């Protein structure tokens, strides 16, 4: 074959794909398919856009563009924007309440410890076993650093407050109510009538009353029954109330998980020679707990928000300090800023917890 | 079972022992070295945690005065924020030694709920907020005015009673909440706004131009606020009562935080000498030493100084002294003789 002939051979070169029509792909396509795919939806989209157009610029201009960020004293009375200087000024009492100034490093160190464990958890840097150990041993050093004793100056619990108190109540509440909840759940499924009756009694009694009632009982009623001069610390009473309340709910969540495990699992485990307790601990519980992780995470979020109720028994947690900070005669009239900041902080924390819950569900691992 | 029973009875015995070892509050406070005082969780001017994390306010200073008199150090106070529902129980059950928390002195509380009131520190009550431009000086000039008021409260009834008693006609414009009523007032929907004066003051400072509004001197309802102690501990009640009474007496006699030392050294007036312990020993009647009142005055100042620090014209609240002025200036604060 001569080269001239070779040149005549047609080699098939596929043409590049044509771009899909503009109205089915890309941002425009997405918009058409999701926002304007019918008369009704188009109308709703336009209404929503109009609504956003009306509210968002005003909100942004209030919260960002016209806001005052730093100011030594109260903001200008004729200001149009938010006065974030208020939050800057009150940041200290919002975070740690009236914790004494020379010891401020202690809440900071505690927060650092908590943050470290949180990071280890979020990025799964250590094994599940280590993580569990870290979390359950966390309250002790934190309590020592905040409370003092053994070489550190004692800081009375009437001086604890702010976000520190909210976090403490929630973390300790969850950590103590998990094992207690597991015990109650197992107790409720026990074949021993007395244990079963006791567990049902505790769970239903606590679930039958609102948290506010428990807090009132702990803080207002209990002291009436104690003899004069015997005082159990208010914070301790409230913390115990929170733990009991949370454990009753967690018990029911875990019982749901236990019921999802077929009886064959238990029977098989026992037939391999495990005792009843070993089978429960090694075979049934791990499976049951895995089923209910999302619900337990949900309880964590709920409990963190529930701690804000302690304001009604005179504990100044984060919300309590937000409220108290708006009452400063020098800084009156900044409720909007205070509550927006409060909502933002609560949202960031709760949203993070629930995102973590989602990721556990996806990876099916701690 | 036996073990549990044993443990239980041991606990019971410990509780009993703790109970029987409870002596008077004075001995208890001295032994602990700290005064435990219930306060409100945040009421402008009365008690709030300031930006540096210190409790400040009118109620707070009263407790500091007691601590200075009893323990010799006004910083030796443990402040326990109390919700409204706790304020009585916390005292009667001994959780706090003293509650200084905007509490109205009423017969039922005094006689039935296990507490004793001491000295009225602030005569609160319903007052009127009015724009300066109307030129009204007294509530009796309000004939024909429209008044913003909250619905279904005693505030509304008090207003009607006051109008009838003074044979003037006012038109009540009723709102559901305080905030709404205040907003309506700010928008000019009524000529004046009425609620308790301590609240009027803090609500006013949230208005656009607080200086162009005044609180009228009349107080038309009775909310005498007094610190309270546990019922039955007479010595402790005497101490709190007389320390606060002593602060009022100090104002009557011109003794201030700044001049108390000089007065003590050089005053010739026998009344002042008795108060400051240079003649006689008033402290011993209370179970305290001679200088009890000197320390209290030095720590927080006299009644007028405390009032001015938190409600005076220099403060954002600016509540007129009105009924809280000394009796010699037309108010109700009347110091009992210290001798």
B301 pLDDT above the threshold of 90: yes
User: What is the homologous superfamily of the domain A85-99+155-363 according to CATH?
Assistant: MetI-like (1.10.3720.10)
C-alpha–C-alpha distance, residues B126 and B319, integer Å: 13
pLDDT tier, A222 (very low <50, low <70, confident <90, very high otherwise): confident
Give the residue-averaged pLDDT of A114-135.
89
pLDDT reported for residue B9: 54
* Domain chopping of chain A, boundaries: 26-65, 85-99+155-363
Task: Look at B243 and A16; give whichever has higher pLDDT.
Answer: B243
Domain at B10-123+224-329: CATH code: 3.40.190.10
Which residues in chain A have Cβ-Cβ distances shorter than 8 Å to B206? 332-333
Domain definitions of chain B by residue range: 10-123+224-329, 126-221
Percentage above 70 pLDDT, chain B: 93
Q: With bands split at pLDDT 50, 70 and 90, how would you rate the model's confidence at A129?
A: confident
Q: For residue A365, what pLDDT is reported?
A: 56
Among A156, A219, A328, the residue with its CB nearest the CB of B78 is A156
Residue A61 has pLDDT above 60, yes or no: yes
pLDDT of residue A4: 56
Would you call B85 and A333 a contact, using CB atoms and an 8 Å cutoff? Answer: no
At B207 the pLDDT is 84
At B115-170, the pLDDT tens digits run 999 999 999 999 999 999 999 988 889 999 999 998 766 788 889 999 999 999 99
Q: Is the pLDDT of residue A12 over 90?
A: no
**Per-residue pLDDT tens for B65-103?**
999 999 999 999 999 999 888 889 889 888 899 999 999
Q: Please check the confidence at residue B19 and state whether its pLDDT lies above 50.
A: no
- Answer whether B48 sits within 8 Å of A78, measured CB to CB: no
Inspect the interface and report whether the beta carbons of B85 and A312 lie closer than 8 Å: yes
Work out the pLDDT band at A228, boundaries 50, 70, 90. low
Yes or no, beta carbons of A223 and B205 under 8 Å apart = no
Q: How far apart are CA B250 and CA B247, in angstroms?
A: 5
Over pLDDT 90: what percentage of chain B?
Answer: 66
pLDDT tier at A197, thresholds 50, 70, 90: very high
Across B9-22, average pLDDT? 49
From chain B, the residues in CB contact with A227 under 8 A are 15-16, 18-19, 22
Q: pLDDT-based confidence at B17, cuts 50/70/90?
A: very low
Nearest CA-CA distance, residue B92 and chain A, Å: 8
Confidence of residue B1 (pLDDT cuts 50, 70, 90): very low
Higher pLDDT, B307 or B16: B307
- The average pLDDT across A53-61 equals 91
Closest chain A C-alpha to B272 CA, distance in angstroms:
35
- How much is the ipTM here? 0.81
B212 reaches A (C-beta below 8 A): no
Per-residue pLDDT tens over the stretch A294-323:
899 999 999 999 999 998 888 899 999 999
The closest alpha carbon to B131, from B202, B198, B186, B194, belongs to B186
pTM: 0.84
Q: Is the pLDDT score of A219 beyond 90?
A: no
For residue A37, pLDDT over 70 is answered with: yes
Q: pLDDT class for B16, splitting at 50, 70, 90?
A: very low
pLDDT of residue A77: 67
On whether the CB atoms of residues A184 and A248 are closer than 8 A, the answer is yes
What architecture does CATH give domain B126-221? 3-Layer(aba) Sandwich (3.40)
């Amino acid at each position: 074959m001569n080269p001239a002939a070779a040149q005549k051979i047609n080699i098939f070169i596929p043409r590049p794909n044509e771009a899909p029509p503009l109205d089915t792909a890309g941002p425009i396509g997405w918009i058409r398919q999701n926002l304007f795919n019918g008369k009704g939806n188009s109308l709703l989209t336009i209404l929503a856009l109009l609504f956003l157009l009306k509210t968002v610029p005003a909100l942004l201009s209030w919260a960002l563009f016209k806001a005052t960020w730093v100011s030594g004293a109260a903001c200008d009375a004729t200001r149009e924007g938010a006065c974030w200087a208020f939050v800057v000024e009150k940041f200290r009492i919002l975070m740690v309440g009236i914790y004494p100034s020379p010891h401020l490093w202690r809440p900071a160190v505690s927060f650092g410890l908590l943050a470290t464990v949180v990071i280890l958890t979020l990025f799964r840097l250590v094994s599940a076993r280590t993580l569990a150990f870290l979390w359950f041993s966390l309250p002790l050093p934190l309590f020592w650093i905040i409370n003092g004793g053994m070489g550190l100056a004692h800081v009375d619990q009437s001086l604890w407050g702010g976000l520190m108190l909210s976090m403490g109540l929630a973390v300790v509440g969850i950590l103590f109510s998990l094992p207690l909840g597991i015990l109650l759940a197992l107790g409720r499924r026990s074949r021993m009538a007395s244990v079963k009756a006791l567990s049902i009694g505790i769970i239903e009694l606590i679930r039958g009353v609102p948290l506010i009632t428990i807090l009132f009982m702990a803080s207002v009623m209990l002291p009436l029954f104690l003899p004069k001069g015997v005082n159990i610390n208010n914070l301790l009473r409230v913390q115990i109330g929170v733990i009991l309340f949370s454990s009753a709910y967690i018990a029911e969540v875990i019982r749901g998980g236990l019921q999802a495990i077929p009886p064959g699992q238990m029977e098989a485990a026992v037939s391999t020679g495990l005792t009843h307790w070993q089978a429960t601990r090694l075979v049934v519980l791990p499976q049951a707990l895995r089923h209910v992780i999302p619900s337990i995470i949900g309880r964590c979020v709920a409990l963190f928000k529930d701690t804000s109720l302690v304001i009604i028994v005179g504990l100044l947690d984060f919300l309590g300090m937000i409220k108290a900070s708006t009452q400063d005669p020098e800084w009156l009239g900044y409720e909007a800023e205070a509550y927006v900041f409060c909502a933002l902080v609560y949202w960031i924390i709760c949203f993070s917890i629930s995102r973590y819950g989602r990721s556990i569900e996806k990876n099916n691992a701690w | 079972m036996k073990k549990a029973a044993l443990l239980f009875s041991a606990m019971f015995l410990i509780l009993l022992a703790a109970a029987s070892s409870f002596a008077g509050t004075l001995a208890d406070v001295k032994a602990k070295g700290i005064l435990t005082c219930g306060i409100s969780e945040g009421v402008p001017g009365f008690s709030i945690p300031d930006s540096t994390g210190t409790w400040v306010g009118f109620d707070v200073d009263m407790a500091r005065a007691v601590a200075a008199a009893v323990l010799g150090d006004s910083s030796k106070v443990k402040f326990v924020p109390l919700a409204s529902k706790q304020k009585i129980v916390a005292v009667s059950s001994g959780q706090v030694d003293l509650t200084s928390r905007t509490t109205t002195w009423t017969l039922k509380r005094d006689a039935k709920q296990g507490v004793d009131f001491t000295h009225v520190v602030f005569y609160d009550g319903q007052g009127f907020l009015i724009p300066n431009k109307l030129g009204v000086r007294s509530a009796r000039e309000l004939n024909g005015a429209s008044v913003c008021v909250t619905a279904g409260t005693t505030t509304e009834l008090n207003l009607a009673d006051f109008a009838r008693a003074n044979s003037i006609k006012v038109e009540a414009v009723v709102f559901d909440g305080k905030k709404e009523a205040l907003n309506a007032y700010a928008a000019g929907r009524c000529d004046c706004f009425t609620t308790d004066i301590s609240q009027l003051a803090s609500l006013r400072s949230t208005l656009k131009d607080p200086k162009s509004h005044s609180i009228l001197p009349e107080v038309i309802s009775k909310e005498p606020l007094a610190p309270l102690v546990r019922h039955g501990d007479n010595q402790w009640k005497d101490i709190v009562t007389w320390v606060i009474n002593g602060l009022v007496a100090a104002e009557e006699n011109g003794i201030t935080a700044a001049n108390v030392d000089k007065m003590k050294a050089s005053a010739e007036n026998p009344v002042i000498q008795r108060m400051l312990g240079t003649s006689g020993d008033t402290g011993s009647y209370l179970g305290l030493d001679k200088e009890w009142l000197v320390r209290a005055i030095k720590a927080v100042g006299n009644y007028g100084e405390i009032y001015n620090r938190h409600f005076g014209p220099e403060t954002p609240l600016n509540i007129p002294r009105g009924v809280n002025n000394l009796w010699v200036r037309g108010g109700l604060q009347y110091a009992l003789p210290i001798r």
